[in-house]
Structure 1
Amino acid sequence: MSTLNEKVAHTSALLQKIADSYQPAALASSLAAEDMVLTDLILRNKLNISIFTLQTGRLHAETLAVADRIREHYGYEITMMHPDPAAVEQYVNNHGLNAFYDSVELRKSCCHIRKVEPLNRALEGKQAWITGQRRTQAATRTELAEQEDDTARGMQKFNPLADWTEQDVWDYLRQHEVPYNALHDRGYPSIGCEPCTRAIQPGEDVRAGRWWWENPESKECGLHLVDGKLVRIKQAG
C-alpha cells in the first residue's frame, strides 16, 4: 500500500510528464475536492497545464465561490465554459426547466447540452485532458485506468488520482491548506448541478447524492462515456 507521500510524488511526476509531453493539456475541473488536489499540484508547481470548469448555469453558489478562492489563493483565473444559450433555451421550451427528473434520456440530454458539448469545445486542439476521477468513487469507475486512449476525441486522457482514496484526498487538502467547496462539509462528497445533487447519509456510496432518483449503473453525465455507452476508454500503453 502506497503512502500519501508516495502517491503525491507519483502524481506530481505524471503531471510533469503531461506538461512536458502532451501540449496543450488541460484539467477539466468540477471544483470539487479531487480537482482541488490537482489544481494545487499544477499551480504550486507552475506546470504548463490549463484549468477550466463547466459553468452549466445550474451550479451551487458554493461551487462558483471556489473559483473566486482559487483566484485569491493562487492568482489564477479558471476558464468558465458555458453551454450554448440557444440549445438550453430549446431544451427548456420543449421539455421544461427540470425535465431531467422525468427520464434518464431527458437527464442525459440536459447533461449533454450543459456539460458534454462545452467540454468538447474546451478540449478542441488539446493533446491531453486530465480528470479527478478515482476508482472508489462509483460502480462505473472501478476499472478506471491512470491513462486512457480517448479515441473519440483523438487525445490522451489522464486520471492521476485513480488509486487515491477519499482519505488521501482530504489528508492532502488539509496538509497543504488547499481551498475547497464548502458543500463538502455539509455531506456532499460528490457535487454536480444544484438540482441534481443532494447530501448523502452515513454509509451511502459517495456518489449516492448524484441523480439519486436513478439506478447506480446510469449515474454518469456523459463526460466519461464512449459512444454513449458505460464502458471504460481503452487503457493506453
Structure 2
Amino acid sequence: MMTITGLSAGYGAGNVLHSVDVTAPTGELTVVLGSNGAGKSTLFRAVSGVLRPSGGRVDFAGEDTTRSSTAALVRKGLAHCPEGRHLFPRMSVEKNLVLGAYTGRRHKDRVRTLLDRTYELFPVLKDKRTQSAGSLSGGQQQMAAIGRALMSDPRMLILDEPSMGLAPLITQQVFDAIVGINKEGIGVLLAEQNATSALRIASSGYVMAEGRIVLSGAAAVLAGDPAVQQAYLGV
C-alpha cells in the first residue's frame, strides 16, 4: 500500500529525516516507534503532503505520490490523524466529524453511512454529537480526531501518537478501536511511544532514532529485541 524509499525531509536548511525506508503493506498495521524528536511526526507530514520531502520517494496505492498535495492524497484514500487532535473546539462533535468528509461532501448518503460507522466504532461520540468538541475529555477528543479521519473513507490511516496524554484504560479503548479499524481492511501506519501496546497489535514495526530507521522487523521479533526492550519496554 505504501512504500517509502530513501526519504529525507526537514525544516529550513536542515533535514530531520535521513534516507528513511518504510513499507506499510496493504491492510496491515505497521508501527513506527521512537522517542520525542526521533522524526516520527516529520515522517508522517512528509508522506501525507503537509511537508515537501527534500529527497527520496513515496509510493501509495501503486503511484508516486512524493509531491502530491494533501487534498490529492485524501482523494486517493490516505488519511492523516495528526498528533494533538486539532479539533475545532467550539463546533459540535458531529460538525467536526463531517468536516472529515469534505472531499466527498456531495455524496450525502455516503457521508451518512460513514458517520453511522464512526458512531458505531465510538458510541460515546454519538451520545455527545451535539456538544462542542472542546467539552470532550482528552480520550473522547482523540476518538473524535480518529473518527474525523475515517470520515474521508480511507484505504490507509496514519495515526500520530494517538495514546499521548491518555489514561491507561482510555488508551486501551483507543487501541481496541484501531484494531477494529484495521480488521475492516484499512491499513494503519501508527507512530507511538507506547511500545508495549503498539507492538501487541502491530504486524510489523520500525524503530526511529535521530531521523533514521535503526531497527525493523516483525512486531513479535522487535518486542523480543534486547535493544527495544531496554529503550522502550522497561525490561
User: TM-score with structure 1 length normalisation?
Assistant: 0.30
TM-score for both structures, normalised by structure 2:
0.30
